[in-house]
Amino acid sequence: MDQTNIAPPCLLVIMGAAGDLTRRKLVPALYAMHRTGHLPASFAILGTARLEMDDTAFRAAMRAACDTFGEAVTDAEWASFAARLHYQTGNFNDAGAYLALAVRIAELDARHATDGNRMFFLATLPSLYAGIAAQLGAAGLVHTDPDGPFSRVLIEKPFGHDLASAQALNHALHEVFREEQIFRIDHYLAKETVQNILVLRFANAVFEPLWNRQHIDYVQISAAEHIGVGSRGGYYEESGVLRDMVQNHLLQLLALIVMEAPLNFTADRVRDRKVDVFRALRPLIGEDVYRDVVLGQYAASADGAVQGYHREAGVSPDSITPTFAALKVQVDNWRWQGVPFYLRTGKRLAQGCAEVVVQFRSIPFCVFGEEDTCARIAPNRLVLHIQPDESVHLEFATKAPGPGIAVDTARMHFDFQDRYPDAPPPYQRLLLDALRGEQLLFNRSDGVEMSWRFITPILEAYADHPGAEPYAYPAGSQGPVAADTLIARDGHAWQPLGGA
């Protein structure tokens, strides 16, 4: 075991420990880290929520969660992990509950020798974030001395619902925590292929000299889901696709593709360059919004087997909440001027996948003479598959066997799972980095606000435009026809979702 990968002693307090995130993601990830030795000996977990439970009941519930959503559980390994698990019932709106929590934290700190280090994971409704932070501060649970034991807070998206609310939440958190104590999660950033974007660009001399407007024609970034909103209809009615996917996941991917080389690979230098990208985004305002943004909403599938969004639980029958978005985005700087970036995301699409397609420019002149030969020379493409299968492939022209010159397209393919079958899933990486205080994979306050500064005018434009209802598209399709029209205006076409 590489000792540099082990976190320091810590007590992890999961606020909202009776919820789905804790069962499906957090505790299975922590159990896997325990099995592989990535948790220190002096480490404990305290779950808290309104649900009445004791330590024994919590441990039983978490074992069932690990059996269902994680790796195979063995009795011996579970016994040592269960000893780390504790629970306390509490109402997050009750100041007295935080005083009781402080007593329990002190007791567990002494029992598990966690040196006063603590981390709070807010696995709660986003509306509770600011209030929980204030109560933690008032109860004296947050260490403020940077030279003493550490206190950190992890926050899941959504981080605000527009620019004003994001600014207000940042202000509320900064009343209690310093910026370096705040870890804003975007789990896309922990996917290995997403991180590999920077390595691909800045560790390979063959790519970076071509990574500009002289050589790249356009870029497509897609994040498609085959599933619908399921039981989250009420939440989705409040968010919609722009808040749920574009403001965070897609803009983060865009920033990694577009950003300049950082001075070094430290968290703040990388995040500085990402913020530069958000500042350079050409605002979509006025008529530009309706020209360069297409919103859609899934209807019933063509065969009627899948119901439309209006029939989902918690959804208003006359809802105009978008479940699909396609955008044409421009980056106004020296490197990217004139290169269009097409972003696409949605639910109930033909296939669930996330990928980046970098389309290089066509050759300037065909030397092979034959018209049909020249017509078959496709531009080079670099495709990064982020999910479900993490891989990278490069398409290039080659001669097909036989007399004369017959051009074919070949592909060099790198499959991440084949090469690294034991790579940890995203939440293990996020938790380990947060425990070690490494913020590279987490969003900074100015980055969050700048991305909302780009998205909020789009939200406002559609909210103030009564005729701008989303286009209907059949469940199981590639999305609304209007999205095809958006990209076709520039002479391009979307790569089929999940296509080769």
d(CA 87, CA 15): 10
Residue 144 lies in a domain: yes
The span from the CA of 164 to the CA of 130, in Å, is: 14
Output Rg (C-alpha) for the chain, integer angstroms. 24
Shared domain check, 455 and 362 = yes
Both structure tokens of 288: 């530009």
Provide the H-helix boundaries in 436-477. Answer: 445-463
Residues 299 and 324: beta-carbon distance below 8 Å: no
Q: Given this model, what pLDDT does residue 495 score?
A: 92
Task: Say if strands 43-49 and 10-15 run parallel, antiparallel, or are unpaired.
Answer: parallel
Percent of the residues in the chain that have a pLDDT greater than 90, as a whole number = 73
In angstroms, the CA 172 to CA 177 distance is 9
Whether the CB-CB separation of 384 and 356 falls below 8 Å is answered with: yes
Q: Decide: 293 and 470 in contact? Cβ < 8 Å.
A: no
Examine the domain organization and report whether 98 and 215 are in the same domain. Answer: no
Token pair in block for residue 398: 């080659």
What pLDDT, on a 0 to 100 scale, did the predictor assign at position 5? 54
Closest CA to 354 of 192, 184, 215: 192
151 and 195: one domain? Answer: no
Are 128 and 224 in the same domain? no
* Catalytic residue chosen out of the listed positions 86, 249, 310, 413: 249
Q: Give the residue numbers spanning the domain of 8.
A: 3-156
pLDDT digits (tens, 9 = 90+) for 127-177: 999 999 999 999 999 998 989 999 999 999 889 999 999 999 999 999 999
Strand bridging mode 340-346 / 324-330: antiparallel
Picking from 495, 464, 490, 462, the residue whose alpha carbon sits closest to that of residue 478 is 495
Q: pTM higher than 0.85, yes or no? A: yes
Whether residue 194 is found in the same domain as residue 262: yes
- Cα 29 to Cα 38: distance, rounded to the nearest angstrom: 11
Whether 338 and 470 share a structural domain:
yes
Same domain (yes/no): 78, 195: no
Residue 174 lies in a domain: no
Q: What is the CATH number of the domain that holds 348?
A: 3.30.360.10
In a domain, 336, yes or no: yes
Q: Is residue 124 part of a domain?
A: yes
Question: Is the omega angle on the peptide bond into residue 466 within 30 degrees of 0, that is, cis?
Answer: no
**Same domain for 201 and 144?**
no
Q: Of the candidates 110, 140, 156, which is a domain's last residue?
A: 156
How would you classify residue 206: left for phi > 0, otherwise alpha for psi between -120 and 50, otherwise beta? alpha
> How many CA atoms within 13 Å lie on the side-chain side of 139?
22
Within a domain: 70: yes
- Name all contacts of 402-410 with Cβ < 8 Å and 24+ positions apart: 404/370, 405/368, 405/370, 405/373, 406/373, 406/376, 407/368, 407/373, 407/376, 407/377, 408/376, 409/378
215: annotated active-site residue: no
- Grouped pLDDT means (10 residues each) for the chain, 500 residues: 67 95 94 92 96 96 94 89 96 95 97 96 93 96 93 93 96 97 90 86 92 97 94 86 94 96 92 96 93 96 92 91 97 97 97 94 75 75 90 83 73 87 84 93 95 96 80 96 97 84
Residue 433 within a domain: no
| Judgement on whether residues 391 and 277 belong to the same structural domain of the protein | yes
Write down which residue in 156, 178, 199 finishes a domain.
156
Distance CA 332, CA 327 (A): 16
Are both 214 and 301 inside the same structural domain? yes
Whole-number pLDDT of residue 2: 46
* Predicted local distance difference test score (pLDDT) of residue 499: 63
Give me the CATH number covering residue 124: 3.40.50.720
Which one, of 171, 341, 201, lies nearest residue 273 by Cα?
A: 201
DSSP line for 202-218: HS-TTTGGG-STTTEEE
- Secondary element (H or E) of residue 120: strand 118-122
Cβ-contact 163, 456 below 8 angstroms: yes
Handedness of CA 433, 437, 438, 443 (dihedral sign): positive
Residue 387 lies in a domain: yes
Query: What's the rounded Cα separation, in Å, for the pair 429 and 3?
Result: 16
Q: Within this chain, do residues 337 and 196 fall inside the same structural domain, yes or no? A: yes
Locate all alpha helices (DSSP H) within 19-91, ordered by sequence.
Answer: 20-21, 27-36, 55-69, 75-82
The predicted pLDDT at position 4 comes to 45
Taking every pair of Cα atoms in the chain, the longest distance, rounded to a whole number of angstroms, is 84
Please tell me the total count of domains within the chain. Answer: 2
Judge contact between 460 and 285, C-beta under 8 A: no
Tokens representing residue 212 in the block: 């500009």
Same domain, 81 and 194: no
Q: Is residue 211 part of a domain?
A: yes
